[in-house]
Amino acid sequence: EAITVGELANRMAERTSDVVKELMKMGMMVTQTETIDADTAELLIEEFGHKVVRVSDSDVEQVIEQAEDKASDLKPRAPIITIMGHVDHGKTSLLDAIRKTRVVAGEAGGITQHIGAYQVTTDNGSVLSFLDTPGHAAFTSMRSRGAHVTDIVVLVVAADDAVMPQTIEAINHAKAAKVPMIVAINKMDKPSANPDKVRTDLLQHEVIVEKMSGDVQDVEVSAATGAGLDKLLEAIALQAEILELKANPDRAAMGAVIEAQLDVGRGPVATVLVQNGTLRQGDIFVVGEQWGKVRALIDDKGDRVKEAGPSVPVEVLGLNGTPEAGDVLNVVDTEAQAREIADYRMKAAKDKRAAIGAATTLEQLMANAKANQSVSELPIIVKADVQGSAEAIVQAMEKIGNDEVRVRVLHSGVGAITESDIGLAEASGAPVIGFNVRANATARNVANQKGVEIRYYSVIYALVDDIKAAASGLLSNEI
């Protein structure tokens, strides 16, 4: 498969005319809508100082990254943390308690602004950035838009309630994104708190905490009394150290939109978490289908700042339109360039919306996996009417395959197919299997919009046959 000149320029965040010029130097006369082959595309990408990751021999895919930083330019950066867990287990309370304990008395009246993320400093001086939208829905929808923001997930489990359905979802979402977890056992102030029940429950979901001789840190806390919060913050800092997170502050910024809205007084406002480089007042940028020039930057204390480096969340003013959470921001050289890329993306998004409906069908998934020799896993999501069926299906699915390809159940559960399942499916390129259950109306709508395939079954062997047939197409040997 080839790529159009316009699409390639867009992915590199370069002007189409510059790409066309470069192609002319290489002796090719093409226009923006014409396609070029993968080899030419790769040459061009390198010419522009970007890194190319080939998904297969013939397909230059999505993953065009910015020019790589030299190791010597990289400096440590703060970890970015998302809090997940079952409803009412205390995600919001924990975020608020952490924020409160770390705000120095007297500082701006002790009040922090809610801009979608905030930073705290631990007693040992480590800086941590927390995303203020708890839960896996936001996490997964950002991921499906291409923003890989979270470095560490804090899984909150209430000690008086133990592991619940959304706890399991959160675990699976974190695992699918390959983000390390820390378990915060909350509500320890309650007389009915039973932290060991939480630990043993987690075992069943392959989360083995340190107290059970595993390597997932577990900390007992109370968002209500503040007990254990310092310990939790140190556990996060320790996990961050292990990850050796780094970025290069001395380059044009790129970041991800955490939230955005149209503010009556201030116009479109977006909170951006800088992921690399430094964002400065006056910078020209493109963000999703929008562009702008930084008029002002406001930090999580409500103060105006001149710049924001890696892992720092800031409110950005000066956008020409409202982007969406998960959109990626890139600083570019000129306004003309920013406008051109934004226009192109807007048009491309419109075309994509028109063409949607055939995104994640089983057949396509298999075709993709086949084209990509290195990917040998077929991800699926399973929802069933009863626990017994869910387990039987997972077992049957995991038996399909051999050294070359295998089926990977990202998430299985009991009950109707929900929006959360579709979110995970979209982010992971997986179909959703409903066994004697249907999708609820919202989930159906979202699946239609996103092009996620839902397959319904009521007989296990029919399901196994389908998946086997599809998978065997990928294999040189029979399963």
CB of 229 to ligand GDP, least distance (A): 10
Question: Phi and psi at residue 156, in whole multiples of 5°?
Answer: -90, 125
Binding mask 67-106 for ligand GDP (x = CB under 6 A): ------------------x-xxxxxxx-------------
If the CB atoms of residues 91 and 102 are measured against ligand GDP, the closer one turns out to be 91
Q: Write out the two tokens for 258.
A: 């955490």
Whole-number Å distance between alpha carbons of 430 and 410: 8
Which residues define the annotated binding site for GTP?
85-92, 132-136, 186-189
* Shortest Cβ 114–ligand GDP spacing (Å): 14
List the structure tokens of 164.
């619940």
3-state secondary structure of 123: coil
* Cβ at position 280, least distance to ligand GDP in Å: 35
Vertex 440, ends 434 and 446: CA angle to 5°? Answer: 95
Task: Report the C-alpha gap between 155 and 9 in whole angstroms.
Answer: 39
Two tokens, residue 378: 């077929």
**Shortest gap between Cβ of 138 and ligand GDP (angstroms)?**
12
Closer to ligand GDP by CB, 76 or 226: give it.
226
H or E stretch including 153? strand 152-158
- Among positive and negative, which fits the CA dihedral 57, 61, 66, 72? negative
Q: Which amino acid is at 153?
A: V
| Helix-then-strand count for the chain, H and E | 14, 23
Q: Which is nearer to ligand GDP, 91 or 383 (CB)?
A: 91
Interaction of residue 228 with ligand GDP, rule CB under 6 A: no
Instruction: Give the burial class of 98: count Cβ atoms within 10 A of its Cβ; 0-12 exposed, 13-18 middle, 19 or more buried.
Output: buried
Near ligand GDP by CB under 6 A: residue from 186, 239, 412, 418: 186
Query: Phi and psi dihedrals of 18, rounded to 5?
Result: -70, -40
**Residue count, binding to ligand GDP (CB under 6 A):** 16
Residues in region 120-149 near ligand GDP by CB under 6 A: 134
Instruction: Measure Cα distances from 252 to 78, 277, 323 in Å.
Output: 19, 5, 20
CB of 185 to ligand GDP, least distance (A): 10
Q: Which stretch binds ligand GDP (CB under 6 A): 70-78, 216-224, 429-437, 450-458?
A: 216-224
Q: Is 187 in the site for ligand GDP (CB under 6 A)?
A: yes
Q: How far is the CB of 422 from ligand GDP (least distance, A)?
A: 21
Find the binder of ligand GDP among 59, 65, 69, 189 (CB under 6 A). Answer: 189
Among 190, 246, 450, 455, binds ligand GDP (CB under 6 A): 190
The binding site for ligand GDP (CB under 6 A) comprises 85, 87-93, 134, 186-187, 189-190, 222-224
